[in-house]
């Protein structure tokens, strides 16, 4: 088994990368943040919140992301008149033991002056981080997420269940694994409930999926894209069963919401559908929104299964791309880390590809770049949502 090491943080967690986060606090500061990070874009990643009026979800997400175990230092870039509480965010980051600096464009002299100051700070921070030694790390200290996007008729037959096999191995080794998208689990609530650690948790799992069903019914559409139909999927039930396969066969240990950190190893469902009245539109407007929520819950890396093909990666945390469709893999092999399409052609089994995914997780955690990392993909998106805190039944003792 690959030996792991990580960067020890003050809270005891360990990171598998040591990035500088350059975080804009309103869209007006996005360009300046991007220019600051550009000379060191492999190690300095841009994240941020676009709105002028953040809510508690945005504040929590940014706090979790800026103190993610893969983040070693943070530069906050503010225009100056937005409503984001930059002072509180900086205090949270400083309390985590990370270097943090705040640049306010309106005070720093405008675009060019702020970019120059920011680039100098990032260069200094990276020099400091370069001297940080790695320490031994166990598989049980990993948090791994999984999403699927650009799904087709092969996703539920090869890539998703193979990811589920890898999840089973990771959970058995003590890692925390997170699967999500309750809107794509409609119809699977009873079989999930049977795997719940307690009857109370089973009720919470059912309630989360029922909430998603009500949410989509109110909107008048479900999580089924034109590309899904073009790829051979026929119903939301078919898509749900394929998405469910990513969870594997382990007992479900808990239910969390974005920003909740799994307290221990095990398998967790993430409820991504906002609480309260339907007022924010589609729960996740792109696959990267789901990856960001995984990161906010501490995911060191994410498994991304795709049948139609997707080239995105992520800021801060690596993405391992799993190709479900053999024909798509032939076209986009440079963007794919795993060819689960071998299952479709009979050249590999679910268990063999699951083992390959597990090994790739360990190699990535040990420092090997994923395809998206090597190509410079660092996508990020954060939007508006509202969540109520989870109850005690969601995390059984």
Question: What is the pLDDT at residue 233?
Answer: 55
Please state the rounded mean pLDDT for residues 144-170: 90
Please state the rounded mean pLDDT for residues 187-207: 96
Judge whether 7 lies within some domain.
Answer: no
In terms of domains, do 122 and 165 share one? Answer: no
Judge whether 6 lies within some domain.
Answer: no
Question: What is the pLDDT at residue 249?
Answer: 96
Buried b (16+ CB within 10 A) or exposed e, 318-330: bbbbbbbbbebbe
Question: What is the pLDDT at residue 284?
Answer: 82
HSE on the CB side for 214, CA within 13 Å?
A: 12
In terms of domains, do 219 and 288 share one? Answer: yes
In terms of domains, do 182 and 111 share one? Answer: no
* Domain end residue (candidates: 99, 131, 163): 131
Indicate left, alpha or beta for 181 from its phi (over 0: left) and psi (-120 to 50: alpha): left
Please state the rounded mean pLDDT for residues 13-30: 98
Give the pLDDT band of residue 12 (cuts 50, 70, 90). Answer: very high
Question: What is the pLDDT at residue 276?
Answer: 92
* Domain end residue (candidates: 131, 160, 191): 131
Judge whether 302 lies within some domain.
Answer: yes
Judge whether 282 lies within some domain.
Answer: yes
208's CB contacts (< 8 A; 6+ apart) are 182, 255, 269, 271, 273
In terms of domains, do 51 and 112 share one? Answer: yes
- In the predicted structure, residue 237 carries a pLDDT above the cut 80: no
Q: How far is CA 197 from CA 224, 251, 364, 394, in A?
A: 30, 6, 30, 10
In terms of domains, do 334 and 191 share one? Answer: yes
The tens digit of pLDDT for each residue in 297-316 reads: 999 999 999 988 999 999 99
Cα 172–chain centre separation = 21
The predicted model scores a pTM of 0.95
In terms of domains, do 208 and 264 share one? Answer: yes
Judge whether 380 lies within some domain.
Answer: yes
In terms of domains, do 41 and 71 share one? Answer: yes
- In the predicted structure, residue 232 carries a pLDDT above the cut 70: no
Phi, psi of 211 (to 5 degrees): -60, -45
The enclosing domain of 51 has a CATH number of 3.40.50.2300
In terms of domains, do 233 and 121 share one? Answer: no
Phi, psi of 31 (to 5 degrees): -60, -45
- In the predicted structure, residue 238 carries a pLDDT above the cut 80: no
In terms of domains, do 263 and 147 share one? Answer: yes
The tens digit of pLDDT for each residue in 86-125 reads: 999 999 999 999 999 999 999 999 999 999 999 999 999 9
Sheet strand arrangement including 44-48: 44-48, 19-24, 71-78, 100-104
Give the pLDDT band of residue 228 (cuts 50, 70, 90). Answer: low
The tens digit of pLDDT for each residue in 317-366 reads: 999 999 999 999 999 999 999 999 999 999 999 999 999 999 999 999 99
Give residue 322's domain range: 139-394
In terms of domains, do 156 and 58 share one? Answer: no
Domain count, the chain: 2
Report the chain's mean pLDDT, rounded to a whole number: 93
Question: What is the pLDDT at residue 285?
Answer: 83
In terms of domains, do 112 and 184 share one? Answer: no
- In the predicted structure, residue 207 carries a pLDDT above the cut 80: yes
- In the predicted structure, residue 224 carries a pLDDT above the cut 80: no
Cα 83–chain centre separation = 26
Q: How far is CA 239 from CA 202, 305, 334, 392, in A?
A: 22, 13, 26, 31
Give the pLDDT band of residue 261 (cuts 50, 70, 90). Answer: very high
- In the predicted structure, residue 229 carries a pLDDT above the cut 60: no
347's CB contacts (< 8 A; 6+ apart) are none
Strands 19-24 vs 44-48: parallel, antiparallel or unpaired: parallel
In terms of domains, do 304 and 388 share one? Answer: yes
* Domain end residue (candidates: 111, 131, 151): 131
Judge whether 312 lies within some domain.
Answer: yes
Please state the rounded mean pLDDT for residues 194-217: 95
Give the pLDDT band of residue 235 (cuts 50, 70, 90). Answer: low
Judge whether 374 lies within some domain.
Answer: yes
Give the pLDDT band of residue 239 (cuts 50, 70, 90). Answer: low
Give the pLDDT band of residue 150 (cuts 50, 70, 90). Answer: confident
Judge whether 1 lies within some domain.
Answer: no
């Amino acid at each position: 088994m690959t030996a792991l090491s990580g960067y020890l943080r003050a809270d005891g967690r360990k990171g598998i990368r040591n990035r500088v986060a350059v975080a804009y606090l309103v869209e007006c500061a996005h360009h300046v943040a991007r220019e600051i990070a550009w000379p060191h874009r492999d190690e300095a990643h841009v994240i941020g919140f676009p709105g002028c009026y953040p809510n508690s979800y945005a504040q929590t997400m940014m706090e979790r992301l800026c103190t993610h175990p893969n983040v070693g230092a943070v530069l906050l870039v503010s225009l100056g008149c937005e409503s984001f509480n930059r002072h509180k965010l900086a205090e949270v980051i400083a309390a985590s033991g990370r270097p943090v600096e705040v640049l306010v464009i309106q005070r720093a002299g405008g675009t060019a002056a702020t970019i120059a100051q920011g680039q100098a700070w990032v260069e200094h921070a990276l020099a400091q981080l370069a001297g940080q030694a790695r320490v031994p790390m166990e598989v049980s200290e990993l948090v791994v997420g999984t999403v699927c996007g650009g799904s087709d008729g092969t996703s539920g037959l090869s890539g998703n269940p193979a990811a589920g096999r890898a999840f089973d191995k990771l959970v058995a080794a003590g890692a925390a694994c997170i699967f999500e998208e309750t809107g794509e689990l409609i119809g699977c609530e009873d079989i999930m409930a049977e795997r719940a650690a307690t009857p109370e948790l089973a009720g919470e799992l059912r309630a989360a999926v029922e909430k998603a069903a009500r949410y989509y019914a109110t909107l008048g559409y479900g999580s089924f894209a034109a590309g899904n139909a073009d790829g051979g999927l026929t119903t939301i039930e078919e898509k749900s069963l394929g998405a469910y396969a990513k969870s594997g066969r382990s007992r479900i240990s808990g239910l969390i919401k974005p920003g909740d950190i799994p307290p221990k190893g095990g398998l967790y469902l993430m409820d991504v559908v906002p609480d309260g009245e339907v007022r924010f539109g589609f729960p996740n407007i792109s696959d990267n929104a789901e990856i960001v929520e995984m990161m906010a819950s501490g995911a060191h890396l994410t498994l991304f299964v795709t049948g139609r093909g997707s080239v995105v990666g992520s800021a801060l945390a690596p993405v391992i791309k799993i190709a479900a469709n053999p024909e798509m893999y032939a076209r986009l092999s440079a963007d794919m880390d795993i060819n689960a399409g071998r299952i479709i052609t009979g050249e590999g089994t679910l268990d063999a590809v699951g083992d390959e995914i597990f090994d790739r997780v360990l190699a990535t955690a040990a420092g090997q770049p994923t395809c998206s990392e090597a190509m410079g993909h660092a996508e990020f998106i954060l939007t508006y949502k509202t969540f109520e805190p989870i109850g005690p039944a969601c995390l059984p003792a």
